[in-house]
A and B are shown apart, each in its own frame.
Chain A
Amino acid sequence: MKKIEAIIQPFKLEDVKEALKNIGIDGMTVSEVRGHGRQKGHREVYRGQEYQVDLLPKVKLEMVVPDARLDEVVRCVVQAARTGKIGDGKIFVYEVAEAIRIRNEDRGDAAL
């Protein structure tokens, strides 16, 4: 099993969720996060006051998938989240040792 962590633009969340749903991935955790990579922040001026925006709003998606579906899911997220501009985000993939469904203690792929 692999854990996929995708940091994407907030306005792409619905597109990515829809694309994942279309390939049968319904379960995920979504968090509102802030951060920056190469995109960095920017300066805003309003009414003569300057605001330095260092950390930009992003959305973090987390999901665990069977090994066999990793490439398909990653491809799906990339396609749905891409605008081609700096700031589109990143995807990280981790090994998962075990998954357990709390309700009935299913384990492994059955718990996903």
Chain B
Amino acid sequence: MLTHSASDPMQDQFLIRGDAAAVQAARTAEVDLAVQRAFEEHLQPRFPEGMALLAVGGFGRRELFPYSDVDLVLLVRQEPHPGPERDALSAFLRTLWDQRLRLGHSVRTVADCCSLDDRNIELSISLLDQRFLTGDDQLYAELSAALPRFFHLRRQDLLNHLCRLTRVRHARYANTIHHLEPNVKETPGGLRDFQLVRWLSQLRSSQPYQMPVPSPFPELEPARALLSMLRCYLHYRAGRDSNLLTFDAQEEIARLPFISAAGFAEWMRDYYRGARLIRRAALHWMETSEPGGSALLAQFRDWRSRVSNSDFTVARDRVLLRQPGQASGPEYIKRLFLFIARHGIPPAADTRRRILDSLSSLEPLLNAGAGYWPFFKELLSLPHAGLALEAMHETGVLPLILPEWGGIDCLVVPDYYHRYTVDAHTLASISVLEELPAAPDPLRQRFAGLLEEVESRPLLLAAALMHDLGKAARSGNHVPESVRLAEAALTRLGASPEERRTVTFLVDRHMDISTALGSRDLEDPAVAKALASRCQTEERLKDLTLLTYADVSAVHPTAMTPWRLEQLWRAYLVTHEELTRELDADRITVPPSASYPPQLAAFLSGFPARYLRTHTEEQMMAHLALHQKALVDGVAVEIRREGGNYILWLATRDKPFLLASIAGALAGFGMNIRKAEAFSNRQGMVLDSFVFEDPSRTLELNPPELDRLRLTLERVLSGRLEVKRLLQNRPKPPAARRAHLHPSVTIDSEASPSATLIEVVAPDRPGLLYDLASAISSSGANIEVVLVDTEAHKAIDVFYVTSGGKKLSADQQSELKQRLLAACSPS
């Protein structure tokens, strides 16, 4: 903690009042005096005329911090000659160095000052803040007359240069203000950005005969004052030009008498809110100061402008509102963010400003996001959802729809591992997932493959958006609070119970895999078993693996090292293997709940344990009713529509070619099977469930066809109709959308104690499951358990098969593999 200094009353005053402006004024006056005296002593005698001393940069603005560099321009009529003139210059500089001033100086003529040197444009920019200190006032008058014309003529070059330099600097800080330990000068939203706004305004208002002056920015003044106070404190604390606001410094500043916020996390929020205002202003001025850019870029931007519609115009790769008056309308705002998420084009500064201006009228209309789930879900399904969420965050719309977000807005949680505030980390985790498909390295491509296979991308991204909401409680373990807040938010938004279950499950277990990576031996089968038990199903394992990938990667840009990627992949593999193994081996032997009626317990006995994890008690009772009907009628079929798909449940007695028959009947009606599960119980009864889509909308446009399909299934299963006849007139399957996916068949005899596991990955097509199931059944093998999944173009089918009640022999495996590969590629 910085304490009062016996030798520096200015520092003592500052520590009591926090008045940085007083420090800057006093420091500038002190340095002014020192520099003028040194000039009079060493340079004035040698240069009675022909030399003037100018203060530039922060010194020129009278904004010197305790240990800032002191920038000087020695304006000369001609270059000093070697010998006495140069010696006088050296003595002048040495005197100031001896007074421990960190000098930056350059010797220039008026012509030098009024020419643009690509290698030293900073000099031209520093002259925007020039101030005459002493020396030849006639020479200075010449510069004063020439400079306005120079700035006016070359303003666009200077504007471009400033914008380019700023973009490079912002990129160095990952384009975010939300660093946990920010540099109060250089980080986006820092003092340099404030100065950038002043310079840009100065140059934009330049006139040929008048030195440009910066516009006033009263709305940024409190933020500038806070940053100045921080920089002053950091200088005094370090005894040098140090601008890094470390955790230790944050805690110390929170205890200063002039800080009123309770705790450092609270006043750091003030810091980020101020930085956000400054960055927003900087981006606005940059956006309106830069020209179109290169011809190629302009052409690309022109191409992008073609996505403009009746609501929005795309100009210079930014979205503008066609009807600015509607910025306070919720539907218009929703369409704007969906547009951004669809096309990946950020809002223009003017668009952001208009939304910000409309926030107070938007707030009651958005109604804390009640009923906004369809909007949210659509947004999260689009390719640039992260950009849209960032824009919603930046414009203040996100906390109006998701008030729980307010708790983590600009929240600092001291952690030497994390680099960003909780909100920035959360948004980064979504961007990380979005960027995954474009990742070039093979290690990341494995995870990109998983992302393609997830059941619901919106639910995964919703979990990523909500996984750290509970950090606002600062209780040490944020997970239970995150689950509670996610449940409340999803209920208010209007998500279905199943969707809520999935998202809260993922939020609840988002730390499980990373915890195991750090403290468990992945070679130990018990660890894989424990992880499998936590993840429950392969689908959720994929989600949790990707959530872990996103969470770790968003900690800081280099957190996900190749080493960690390998570890995470290994954790995925061992858990996946365990889950696949237990699909057949882990069977229900005792009723999972004493409250289950005896009929249900008998029905469940012998089903894979997965059944319990993937079905609610309500679904189990419906299946039991179906099962009881099948015991009487031989077959029971139920088909219902859910979302864009149809769900078929079917109960019957197990027999050869059963799966192939059902798959064939569906294919014969032109249905495309997306998912399937087939379980058999101890009584030899089978419960199959299929999720299929109707690409030709046959069932929707011809409702009687649904009854015909049901009847056909019953006839096929009772042996009254041959599937082959149904398939005779089937249209040829379309070519695979992704021809580069080669079919693969993996056979594993070790995975299960009683059956051989066969995993087929192939390009999806109508009738694929029928062909695969037929190939297995016609080879004399029996399908014990089936798990079929389709993600985009890829079908992933897992079969557990036996032959004569035993595992397949090596010869049988080899023959079946050939048959399955042939079935994957229809001739």
Q: Which residues of A contact B (CB under 8 A)?
A: 9-11, 13-14, 32-34, 44-49, 57, 83, 85, 87
B567 at the interface (CB under 8 A from A): yes
With contacts A11-B521, A46-B576, A47-B761 taken as known, whether A32 is within 8 angstroms of B746 at the C-beta atoms is: no
A48/B561 in contact, CB under 8 A: no
B521/A48 in contact, CB under 8 A: no
| A13 CB contacts on chain B under 8 angstroms | 518
B79 at the interface (CB under 8 A from A): no
| B746 CB contacts on chain A under 8 angstroms | 45, 47-48
Give the contacting residue for B564; candidates A11, A32, A47, A85; CB below 8 A.
Answer: A32
A9/B521 in contact, CB under 8 A: yes
Instruction: Give the most central of B517, B521, B567: most A CB within 10 Å.
Output: B521
Chain B, range 610-647, C-beta contacts under 8 Å to A: none
| A11 CB contacts on chain B under 8 angstroms | 517-522
B481 at the interface (CB under 8 A from A): no
Distance, CA A83 to CA B522, complexed state (A) = 13
A57/B563 in contact, CB under 8 A: yes
Looking at chain A's contact residues, is the secondary structure mostly helix, strand, loop, or mixed? mixed
| A34 CB contacts on chain B under 8 angstroms | 563, 566
A48/B519 in contact, CB under 8 A: no
Give the contacting residue for B561; candidates A32, A44, A46, A85; CB below 8 A.
Answer: A32
B563/A14 in contact, CB under 8 A: no
9 nearest CB pairs, A to B: A48-B744, A32-B563, A48-B746, A47-B761, A11-B521, A11-B520, A11-B519, A57-B567, A57-B563
Instruction: Give the most central of A14, A44, A87: most B CB within 10 Å.
Output: A44
Interface contacts (Cβ under 8 Å), in number, total 43
| A87 CB contacts on chain B under 8 angstroms | 523
CB distance from A39 to the nearest CB of B (A): 9
With contacts A11-B519, A13-B518, A83-B521 taken as known, whether A48 is within 8 angstroms of B761 at the C-beta atoms is: yes
Closest to A49 in B: B744
Looking at chain B's contact residues, is the secondary structure mostly helix, strand, loop, or mixed? mixed
Chain B, interface residues (CB within 8 Å), range: 20 to 34
Distance, CA A85 to CA B527, complexed state (A) = 15
B168 at the interface (CB under 8 A from A): no
CB distance from B215 to the nearest CB of A (A): 46
16 A-B pairs with CB atoms under 8 Å apart are: A10-B518, A11-B517, A11-B518, A13-B518, A14-B518, A32-B561, A34-B563, A45-B746, A45-B748, A47-B746, A48-B745, A48-B759, A48-B761, A57-B566, A83-B521, A85-B521
| B522 CB contacts on chain A under 8 angstroms | 11
CB distance from A86 to the nearest CB of B (A): 9
| B517 CB contacts on chain A under 8 angstroms | 10-11
Closest to B564 in A: A32
With contacts A32-B563, A32-B564 taken as known, whether A44 is within 8 angstroms of B573 at the C-beta atoms is: yes
Q: Which residues of B contact A (CB under 8 A)?
A: 517-523, 561, 563-564, 566-567, 570, 573, 576, 744-746, 748, 759, 761, 796
Closest to B572 in A: A46
CB distance from B238 to the nearest CB of A (A): 14
Distance, CA A88 to CA B796, complexed state (A) = 37
Closest to A42 in B: B523
Give the contacting residue for A85; candidates B523, B563, B567; CB below 8 A.
Answer: B523
Closest to A44 in B: B573
Give the contacting residue for B519; candidates A14, A47, A49, A85; CB below 8 A.
Answer: A14
| A45 CB contacts on chain B under 8 angstroms | 746, 748
Distance, CA A32 to CA B573, complexed state (A) = 21
Closest to B743 in A: A48
Inter-chain pairs besides A11-B520, A34-B563, A57-B563, 9 sampled, C-beta below 8 Å: A11-B518, A11-B522, A14-B518, A14-B519, A46-B576, A47-B759, A47-B761, A57-B566, A57-B570
CB distance from B411 to the nearest CB of A (A): 26
Closest to B744 in A: A48
Distance, CA A48 to CA B748, complexed state (A) = 10
Distance, CA A34 to CA B561, complexed state (A) = 12
Closest to B576 in A: A46
| B521 CB contacts on chain A under 8 angstroms | 9, 11, 83, 85
| A47 CB contacts on chain B under 8 angstroms | 744, 746, 759, 761, 796
CB distance from A37 to the nearest CB of B (A): 15
Closest to A10 in B: B567
| B761 CB contacts on chain A under 8 angstroms | 47-48
| B567 CB contacts on chain A under 8 angstroms | 10, 57
Closest to B742 in A: A48
Closest to A86 in B: B523
Closest to A83 in B: B521
| A14 CB contacts on chain B under 8 angstroms | 518-519
| B745 CB contacts on chain A under 8 angstroms | 48
Closest to A58 in B: B563
Instruction: Give the most central of B522, B523, B566, B744: most A CB within 10 Å.
Output: B523
Closest to B566 in A: A57
CB distance from A83 to the nearest CB of B (A): 7
Distance, CA A34 to CA B521, complexed state (A) = 16
CB distance from A88 to the nearest CB of B (A): 10
| A46 CB contacts on chain B under 8 angstroms | 573, 576
| B518 CB contacts on chain A under 8 angstroms | 10-11, 13-14
Closest to A46 in B: B573
Closest to B567 in A: A57
| A33 CB contacts on chain B under 8 angstroms | 563
Closest to B745 in A: A48
Closest to A87 in B: B523
CB distance from A77 to the nearest CB of B (A): 17
Instruction: Give the most central of A9, A10, A44: most B CB within 10 Å.
Output: A10
Distance, CA A83 to CA B563, complexed state (A) = 22
Instruction: Give the most central of B517, B745, B746: most A CB within 10 Å.
Output: B746
Distance, CA A87 to CA B521, complexed state (A) = 11
| B561 CB contacts on chain A under 8 angstroms | 32
| B520 CB contacts on chain A under 8 angstroms | 11
Closest to A55 in B: B566
CB distance from B802 to the nearest CB of A (A): 21
CB distance from B172 to the nearest CB of A (A): 25
Distance, CA A11 to CA B518, complexed state (A) = 5
Distance, CA A87 to CA B522, complexed state (A) = 12
Closest to B746 in A: A48
CB distance from A41 to the nearest CB of B (A): 12
CB distance from B451 to the nearest CB of A (A): 15
